[in-house]
Amino acid sequence: MLIKKILEPDITENYAEIHYKELNQEVLDAIHYFEKKKLLLGKNNGETKLFSLSDILFCEIVDRKCFSYLKDGVWQIDFSLQSFLEEYATNGFVRISKSMIVNIYKIDYMKTDVSMRMKLILENGECIILNRAYRRGFYALLEKIGGEDR
């Protein structure tokens, strides 16, 4: 991969552009590297933590508060699910129930459940349920991501 570094003293914010002929693993790795730099502020028991957007497995609303679930803990964030999706849907987040969204890149595998629901098994072994009402949007994102890898 060719990397061009250009000093531009007049810009107000650093930025990176990725140009590619085909979306392969090298390009995906570069994209994921830059996406990891998006940081969120979480709170838990009087502690505050900065963590990467890409560390989030899923988010859930409990008692009108939004919690992000990471491998190493649960942190409250100042978002509604809708505002979180509006901001970060392009980073692989999709709604799977009325009160939950998942980072599609953190799903290890899926298996069918009773009543046509789908179990999503995450990287950390946690199992969450894809509600039937949200299947269409979930599969549309899977198809879009699958199409990008080709």
pLDDT tens per residue, range 68-120: 999 989 999 999 999 999 988 888 899 999 999 999 999 999 999 777 789 99
Phi/psi for 87 (5° steps) reads: -80, -40
Q: Phi first, then psi: give them for residue 103, nearest 5 degrees.
A: -85, 110
Name the pTM for this structure.
0.73
CB atoms within 10 A of CB 148: 11
Average pLDDT value for residue range 26-55 = 83
> What is the average per-residue pLDDT within 129-135?
93
pLDDT for the residue numbered 74 = 96
Joined together, the tokens standing for residue 117 give 């629901």
DSSP class of residue 97 equals: E
